[in-house]
């Protein structure tokens, strides 16, 4: 465990959360409050087989991998949402957005695609259900301050596949909010992730987020088709089957990926 005061929890079979909680000296209280709010039980040791620790110190939360019960602080992963997009050449994700300006990303993940789309000038609301992934997004958005890009970007912690999602979203956004396009990227594994440019965030994501339950993709797609006014875009690995077996009206392809386009 870290040199400083900390307690941790291993994979919790009841909540399905794959993370321990740890803190540097003086950060016990806020870390415990977060653990309590998110129902993360706290225990005393990192499991010997390794695992991830959600760690709080003066720089905020980070995710740290462990080996043989010891945290490797050098491996700390912190999410940054600094906008670095410049529209250049062929960009399949931006092309898939067509002329839409208001986008709902129902599977935010690390917010990379949402940030890219917002940086292209769109207004994006991005939803993430995992509490730890959302915490990292929320913190990164706070550190990014005023979003320095042409569009806007906002994250919400909700389950996009839940029954009544649309109503809850409207209540959260205080209505008046319509989405021309809904974007889905529920990919969990596959060659495209293994070959992803940035392996570290992907590897952390796969350790952190449990595989989605059967029926998640169908429910996401059904909600997306209900909410989108003009288009639903689904990101898939190039050779992956269509979401929910539904044949799209078109696809935009890159070397490793496919963006399937559906008319609601």
Ligand X SMILES: C[S@@+](CC[C@H](N)C(=O)[O-])C[C@H]1O[C@@H](n2cnc3c(N)ncnc32)[C@H](O)[C@@H]1O
Residue number closest to ligand X, CB atom:
109
CB under 6 A: which stretch of 30-38, 80-88, 94-102, 104-112 binds ligand X?
104-112
Nearer to ligand X, 24 or 202 (CB): 202
Among 141, 187, 227, 252, binds ligand X (CB under 6 A): 187
The minimum distance between CB 223 and ligand X, in angstroms, equals: 9
Instruction: Rule CB under 6 A: choose which of 5, 15, 112, 203 binds ligand X.
Output: 112
Told to check if 212 binds ligand X by CB under 6 A, we report: yes
Least separation in angstroms between CB 112 and ligand X: 3
Q: Which range binds ligand X by CB under 6 A, 14-22, 68-76, 93-101, 106-114?
A: 106-114
DSSP characters for the chain?
--SSS--B----TTT----EEEE-TT-HHHHHHHHHHTT---BS---TT-EEEEEEETTEEEEEEEETTEE-GGG-B-----------S--HHHHHTTT--EEEES--TTSHHHHHHHHTT-EEEEEE--HHHHHHHHHHHHHH-S--SSSEEEEEE--TTSTTHHHHHHHHHTS----SEEEE----SSHHHHT-S-HHHHHHHHHHSPPPPTTHHHHHHHHHHHH-SSEEEEEEETTPPPGGGPPPSEEEE-SSEEEEEE--
Q: How far is the CB of 161 from ligand X (least distance, A)?
A: 3
**Cβ nearer to ligand X, comparing 7 with 130:** 130
List the x/- string, 126-165, binding to ligand X by CB under 6 A: -xxxx--x-------------------------xxx----
CB of 208 to ligand X, least distance (A): 8
Structure tokens at 85: 């997009």
Number of residues this chain uses to bind ligand X (CB under 6 A): 21
Candidate ranges 74-82, 169-177, 180-188, 247-255; the one touching ligand X (CB under 6 A)? 180-188
User: d(Cα 211, Cα 101) in Å, to the nearest integer?
Assistant: 31
Site residues (vs ligand X, CB under 6 A): 107, 109-113, 127-130, 133, 159-161, 185-187, 209, 212, 216, 220
């Amino acid at each position: 465990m870290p040199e400083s005061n900390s307690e941790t929890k291993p994979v919790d079979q009841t909540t399905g959360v794959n993370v321990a909680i740890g803190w540097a000296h003086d950060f016990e209280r806020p870390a415990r409050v977060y653990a309590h709010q998110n129902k993360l039980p706290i225990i005393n040791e990192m499991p010997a087989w390794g695992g991830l620790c959600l760690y709080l110190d003066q720089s905020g939360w980070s995710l740290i991998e462990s080996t043989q019960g010891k945290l490797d602080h050098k491996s700390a992963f912190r999410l940054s949402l600094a906008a670095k997009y410049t529209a250049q050449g062929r960009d399949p994700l931006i092309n898939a957005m067509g002329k839409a300006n208001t986008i709902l990303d129902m599977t935010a993940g690390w917010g990379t695609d949402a940030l890219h789309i917002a940086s292209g000038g769109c207004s994006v609301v991005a939803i993430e259900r995992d509490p730890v992934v959302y915490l990292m997004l929320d913190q990164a958005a706070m550190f990014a301050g005023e979003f320095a890009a042409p569009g806007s970007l906002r994250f919400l912690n909700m389950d996009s596949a839940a029954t009544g999602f649309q109503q809850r979203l409207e209540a959260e956004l205080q209505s008046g909010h319509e989405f021309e396009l809904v974007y889905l990227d529920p990919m969990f594994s596959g060659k495209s992730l293994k070959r992803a440019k940035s392996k570290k965030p992907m590897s952390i994501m796969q350790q952190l987020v449990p595989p989605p339950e059967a029926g998640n993709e169908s429910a996401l797609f059904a909600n997306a088709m209900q909410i989108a006014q003009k288009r639903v875009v689904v990101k898939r690995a190039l050779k992956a089957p269509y979401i929910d077996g539904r044949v799209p009206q078109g696809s935009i392809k890159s070397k490793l990926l496919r963006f399937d386009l559906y008319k609601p």
